Amino acid sequence: MQSPLLVCAYACNPYHGSEPGVGWGWVNMIARFGETWVLTDAANREDIERETSHDPSHYENLHFIYIPRTRWLSAEKIWPPAYLWTYRLWQREAYKLGCELHRKIGFSLVHVVTYVGFRVPGPFWKMDIPLVWGPIGGLENTPWRLLPAMGVSGAIHYGCRNVINTLHKLLLREPKHAFAKARGSIIAATSGIQREIEHWYGEQSTVICEVGAPAAAASNLLERRASPRQGASASAASACQASGRCQLGSFDSRRRALHHQMETSRAATWDRCSMHLDRQSEPGRRARDDGPQSRFRYYQP
């Protein structure tokens, strides 16, 4: 039996892009390795349950636990960067629940996915099981030589961001603890982030892009690369493409294959990144108590 996995994906939504899309893509990939419990924001509940209701068997390895974020929300309306503070408060609640679930279920590891930023990894590094962290972003500064091209306001904004970013890399303690705990299982979103992690924290990381091509992009790419031999003739294929009347049904199987290949590649890299966990002592191999039976649970702190 595969060991259960715990994932913190605050942003996780099947119908949104950016961070929520990243979270959704990653938890689905991780679930291929075993039963996965996902701690996520309660605001994602409606969309997740609507999506999973279409094909429950496809999501049978995913168990979502919804944690509301209710405190200090008004501060974000006054000063948007305050989201880091409210997000940190949410993480504390998620950490408490994650520890409760771990006592009942016995997870083999915990993976912090979203938010992708390096500043607030949360207190999950304190758990007595291995930590996988990433994809991680946000460490790179804007090159100073480019600031003059951004105008006065742009130069001030990104210059201040560079200073704050550097101070955070120097002074924030939580990322240092998380990087040390996740040694060998750190995932960088880009090669530039990988270099920053090694420079500032002295840790090696594996590069896995946090996003994949959307279905429409994959279909269009396959359509452009399709050989004329697959159609009636080269002229017929050209006419079909020019008229915009091509049916994508013939490309569906290859589109699915491409997505499967992308997901498999990312999963294989994630597997290599976390293989060292198997060589550690047997953390999380506790007898399972009567854990949560419902796939969707709502947590109210």
Which tens digits make up the pLDDT trace of 57-79? Answer: 889 999 999 999 877 777 777 87
**What is the signed CA dihedral for 82, 6, 199, 87, rounded to 10 degrees?**
0
Q: What count of residues does the chain have?
A: 301
Q: What is the pLDDT of residue 211?
A: 79
Residue 261 belongs to what H/E stretch? helix 252-274
Statement: residue 264 has pLDDT above 50: yes
- Residues carrying CATH 3.40.50.2000, the chain: 5-211+263-298
CA distances from 1 to 4, 101, 178, 181, 285 (A): 9, 18, 29, 26, 12
In this prediction, residue 266 carries a pLDDT of 56
Closest of 116, 144, 143, 140 to residue 196, by C-alpha: 140
**Model confidence band, residue 298 (pLDDT cutoffs 50, 70, 90):** very low
CATH class, 5-211+263-298 region? alpha beta
What type of residue is 92? R
* Cα–Cα separations (whole angstroms), residue 190 to 22, 187, 218: 14, 9, 21
Burial per residue of 152-166, b for 16 or more beta-carbon CB atoms within 10 angstroms, e otherwise: eeebeebeeebeebe
Which residues, 6+ apart, have CB-to-CB distance to 115 below 8 Å?
A: 10, 11, 19, 87
Q: How far is CA 66 from the centre of its chain?
A: 17
Q: What is the pLDDT of residues 93-150, one digit of tens each?
A: 999 999 999 999 999 999 999 889 999 999 999 999 999 999 999 999 999 999 999 9
Cα–Cα distance measured from residue 11 to residue 39, given in angstroms and rounded to the nearest whole number: 10
**pTM, two decimal places:** 0.73
pLDDT higher than threshold 80 for residue 92: yes
The alpha carbon dihedral of 282, 283, 289, 294 has a sign of: negative
Can you say whether residue 205 is alpha, beta or left, with left for phi > 0 and alpha for psi between -120 and 50 degrees?
beta
- What local confidence, expressed as pLDDT, does residue 219 receive? 47
Mean pLDDT of 26-53: 94
**pLDDT beyond 80 at 36:** yes
DSSP-derived letter for residue 98 is: H
pLDDT at 83: 80
Report pLDDT for 22. Answer: 92
Q: Is the pLDDT of residue 268 over 70?
A: no
pLDDT of residue 288: 36
Say what the pLDDT of residue 100 is: 96
| AA letter at 189 | A
pLDDT at position 85: 84
Instruction: Give the DSSP letter string of 154-187.
Output: HHHHHHHHHHHHHHHHHH-HHHHHHHHHTTT-EE
Which tens digits make up the pLDDT trace of 217-263? 444 444 545 544 444 333 333 333 333 333 334 444 544 554 555 55
- Residue 112 contacts residue 95 (beta carbons within 8 Å): no
Q: What is the pLDDT of residues 162-202, one digit of tens each?
A: 999 999 999 999 999 999 999 999 999 999 999 999 999 99
Spatial separation of the C-alpha atoms in residues 106 and 5, rounded to whole Å:
9
Task: Please give the pLDDT value at position 223.
Answer: 53
